[in-house]
Every structure is written in C-alpha cells, then in structure tokens.
Amino acid sequence: MYGMPPDQDAQISQAADALRRASSIAVLTGAGISAESGIPTFRDALTGLWENFRAEQLATPEAFLADPKLVWEWYAWRRQRVALARPNPGHLALTALANACSARGAGFTLITQNVDGLHQAAGSTDVIELHGNICRVKCFERQHVIEQFDDATGAVPSCPLCGSLLRPDVVWFGESLPEAALAHAMRAARDAEVFISVGTSTLVEPAASLPFLAVRSGAVVIEVNAGTTPLTAAARFSFRGQAGMLLPQLVEEC
Ligand code: NAD
C-alpha cells in the first residue's frame, strides 16, 4: 500500500542499532497505531451514524452540555468498536521492546494519546495515558471516577455519589491534561536517548511538543507514520508506512 523508499531497510537497521545501544527509550503513540486494529483516527472521516459530524463538534465540554445524550451515544458507539478491537503487531512490538529493555536494564517509557487501552491489552504495563481512557467514566461536576455504569440503555447515567451526569474519562478539546501524567511524559522525553513517535499527526498540543523536547535534549528521534508530519524534518529517522509492519521490523532487528 505504501511505497517503501529503497534505502529504508538500511535506515531501519541504523535506527535499530540506536535502540539496541540506548540506556533509555521513550515512545509516544497516537491514533495511527490503532488504525490497523480497526479504530479510526480523528483524521479519518467519521462513518456510519456519525458521518455528518466532526470529532471537534463532539469531543468538547460545550458539546456535552448542549446535548449530553448525543455525546454519550457517540462514546458508547466508540466503546463498542474498542471492545471488538484487538492489539495489532505494532502494539505487540512495543511490548516486546519494553521486555527487551527490561532484560538489559534499560529504561523504557510508553506514552500514549490513545484512549483505547490496546497497549495494555497487548501486555504493556505502566502506560502513561495522556488523554484518559474511553472505557472509564467520571462525573461531569466533581470528577468522581465511577467503575460500574450501564452502557446498554442509551440514557446518560448519573453519578451515584453526587447525581451529576457521567461523562467519559477522556481529555476533551479545550481541557487540560492530567498534570502528573504530562510531567512524567515530559521527563521521559527529556531523558530519553532514543524517542520513537508512532502514528501521531504531531498537531495536538501539548503531546505534539514531546518529540521536539526530545530533539532539543539530544535524543535520536525516530518517526513511524503513514504520512509526513511537522516532526518529519526534525527527526533523525522518519519511516513512511504502517506501524504494524514497521515497528516489528525495527524491534526484531534491535
Ligand atoms: P490523528 O488522528 O491526528 O493522526 C493520526 C496519524 O496517524 C496521522 O499522522 C496518520 O498519518 C497516521 N497513521 C494513520 N494510519 C497509520 C498507520 N497504520 N501506521 C502509522 N501511522 C498511521 O491522531 P493523534 O495524533 O493521535 O491525535 C488526535 C487525537 O485523537 C488524540 O488526542 C487521541 O486522543 C484521539 N484519538 C484516539 C483514538 C484511539 O484511542 N485509538 C482514535 C481517534 C482519536
């Protein structure tokens, strides 16, 4: 599907070499790594019942206040897709990379913008979730995290503790990221000898700044993406193609 430049194999060997030698590795993933698991990215047009909407119209506190049922139903639909999805070779390669780092005493930090839990399903642990998780909910007013809720009725449930409406425990456009998670991610980006950025458009701040922080701190930055992004020119290696094909190749060689 994607044309592989002739020298890409040699470049992958060089990037794998940097990974093998690194005493600390950080990885940032975005929606693109889950595309091959059947979860659409935000750049893909919304489909089916939702084809007349854009994510920016639904993933905001204002949208929820204006029409809680509409926004709840969109997330219920997305949760159904996530429940059916399985991790792909890209997610599994990152778990293998973490295990390889642990075996040789190197540091490894996995940071994701994804809300689908597929890294954990692939066996990754200690994942920094910058944008929350779609399978958890919290109440709109007081941020109580609620473990059990009814997804079957279609109605927006209320918080059993304070009565306000429940919403997904994700970071919406215009909201702040969880402070501790962001601080941890920034430390990891600053300390990494090698930083991999996978399947992210590098447009959504503040996550988009993490690979540039790594560049400024002297890391070898490797980008894996189906297309070019604002990071491409600054990365030491930039590989065009599917994460589910390129990550296993990178990790097998290192
Ligand atoms: P994005 O939708 O802005 O960009 C996706 C990127 O992935 C693009 O650069 C595209 O070229 C690349 N891509 C697509 N398919 C790929 C593949 N098979 N292999 C490699 N790269 C591929 O996603 P983003 O940068 O993560 O930012 C958008 C926001 O959307 C994030 O905040 C995230 O929380 C949210 N989101 C999450 C999910 C999910 O959890 N799976 C899905 C949609 C959106």
Give the residue numbers annotated as catalytic, written as ranges: 131
Neighbours of 78 (CB within 10 A): 20
**What atom in ligand 1 is closest to the CA of residue 208?**
25
How many other C-beta atoms can be found within 10 angstroms of the C-beta atom of residue 10? 10
pLDDT, residue 7, reads 83
Pairing of strands 107-112, 24-29: parallel
Question: What is the phi/psi pair of residue 128, to 5°?
Answer: -85, 110
- Interval between CA 113 and ligand 1 midpoint (Å): 8
In this structure, which residue's CA is closest to atom 3 in ligand 1? Answer: 201
- Look at residue 146 in the predicted model and tell me its pLDDT: 86
User: According to the model, what pLDDT value does residue 59 have?
Assistant: 93
Name which residue sits closest to atom 40 of ligand 1, judged by CA: 114
Query: What pLDDT score does 6 carry?
Result: 63
In angstroms, the CA 232 to CA 230 distance is: 6
User: Which segments of the chain have a pLDDT < 50?
Assistant: 1-3
The pLDDT of residue 1 is 41
Closest C-alpha to ligand 1, atom 18:
242
Q: Is 88 in the pocket of ligand 1 (CB under 6 A)?
A: no
Residue-level pLDDT at 91: 98
Residue 199, classified by CB atoms within 10 Å of its CB into exposed (0-12), middle (13-18) or buried (19+), is buried
Digit-coded pLDDT (tens) for 203-212: 999 999 999 9
- Take residue 65 and report the two structure tokens written for it: 């206040």
What gap in Å lies between CA 30 and CA 115, rounded to an integer? 9
Q: Write out the H or E segment, with its range, that includes residue 167.
A: strand 166-170
Ligand 1 neighbourhood includes 242 CB (under 6 angstroms): yes
pLDDT value of position 253: 87
Residue 48's pLDDT is: 67
Distance from residue 114's CA to the centre of ligand 1 (Å): 8
- The DSSP letter of residue 104 is T
What pTM value is reported for the model? 0.94
